[in-house]
Structure 1
Amino acid sequence: MPFALALLAARHGGVYGDGSPAFGASLQDSILLILSGPLTAMPLILFSAAARRVAMSTVGVLQYINPTLQFFCAVVLFGEAFTFVHQIAFALIWVAVALYSVGAFRQDKASRRAAMAASGPSTQVR
């Protein structure tokens, strides 16, 4: 890393043969470029830490939220086409996610009941 930082510092503000900036056009651009790595990595690190603490089925369901938000941005903000076929596909996907979530919720509830019954009061006679 020290060698890479020295190289970047030496090329800061310099230009390549075609006139394009070698690293950053200004000190502010160079600092923003350097900070973009940790800024990109931090959400991924936090997601990884959080994903270890919840069930994988929950993580799987949550993975549908980001594409859905991107889809809404595309349709509402950018005016992308949302045909009848798209509406059917979107509805079917979310019905499937809902059915899966209900099944997972019921299974979790049943396993909790079984665990409570197993650890309930003892009926042994002394």
Structure 2
Amino acid sequence: MNPPLHYAVQLSATPRAARLARLLAVEQLRAWGLPFENAAQVVAELCSNAVTHGRVPGRDFHLELSVTDAGRVRIEVADTRSDRFPDEPRYGLSIVGALADRWGSSTGPAPRKTVWAELSS
């Protein structure tokens, strides 16, 4: 039985760190032997949103990648602005919606908000 594929990193809430998150995700998916093009775009959009709309001075954002039991790549980006949710798809979330099989958001633990997406691998 293979161990579950999981990767997590915490980064400062800056545009430079959002770009770094995309590069780290590409390298991790490549190391797992999984397609990374669509996932890289989703990571870029979600991390950019975390930095732009979810930033709280002095607080970081968190990126997690995993592979579900169904074989999907799950991307989770958490920030500390649980008061600001992606309630209507804007351009970036429209891209996420077009590339992902499904996506959504959740809260907790306070003050954390997570936006996630799952893509077929």
Normalised TM-score (structure 1): 0.28
Normalised TM-score (structure 2): 0.29
Structure with the bigger percentage of helix: 1
Which of structures 1 and 2 has the larger relative contact order (alpha carbons within 8 angstroms, sep 6+)?
Answer: 2
Return the index of the structure with the highest Cα Rg. Answer: 1
Structure with the bigger percentage of strand: 2
